[in-house]
A and B are shown apart, each in its own frame.
Chain A
């Protein structure tokens, strides 16, 4: 499922809203999640999961082309922990559905 397919599915379930408004709403939610993580504010959605930042320590890396050493600073990466309901639903249905893109 892609973002546009998600928008279409949400529009079908809310026929009283214009497709354009559903599209704006989806973009608004995603932008708010990105903004929140970019300022290291956790996101907690009951039953879905939580997003937070995990720190990666500074380390020495290498330029794979030249072999030269480069100092890589400490950085943060987004992390998602699925909630119990999502974990259970996905696991319980695994015999019935193959994984598709």
Chain B
């Protein structure tokens, strides 16, 4: 089962003693704050975890994979995530545990 917002809220309730309402709001606001920062062009760096970066892509020719038809891919801004050293190391430790 994937981890969801409800799991984060439950942990804030159990470990930190926030009430259910506060815990739910905190989780909502946490992700909303990161989204609105990125929306304003501001990249977000969470030390120990990773960095949400923004990239402006220019338009390029693309194809409809089903029909093979050529269609242009328009210029756009995208979000990418680069994991930090600490997270990378922890995740690699999992691979070793298999």
Contacts and interface: CB of A to CB of B under 8 A. Distances in A.
Contacts of A1: 34, 37, 42-45
Q: Interface range on chain B: under 10, 10 to 19, 20 to 34, or 35 or more?
A: 35 or more
Interface in B47-98: 47-50, 52, 54-56, 76-81, 83, 86-88, 90-96
B73 to A, nearest CB: 12
Given A32-B3, A74-B95, A90 B54 contact: yes
Contact of B3 (A16, A24, A36): A36
B30 A26 contact: yes
Interface string A49-83: 11101000000000000000000011111111010
A86 B3 contact: no
Contacts, number: 176
Interface in A81-101: 82, 85-87, 89-91, 93-94, 96-101
A78 B54 contact: no
A3 B83 CA distance: 14
A93 B79 contact: no
Given A25-B16, A28-B11, A45 B41 contact: no
Contacts of B77: 90-91, 93-94, 99
B93 A38 contact: yes
A89 B35 contact: yes
Given A1-B44, A3-B47, A78-B83, A48 B88 contact: no
Contacts of A43: 2-4
Interface in B1-36: 1-5, 7-8, 11-12, 15-16, 18, 22, 25-27, 29-31, 33-36
B40 A30 contact: no
Interface of B: 1-5, 7-8, 11-12, 15-16, 18, 22, 25-27, 29-31, 33-50, 52, 54-56, 76-81, 83, 86-88, 90-96
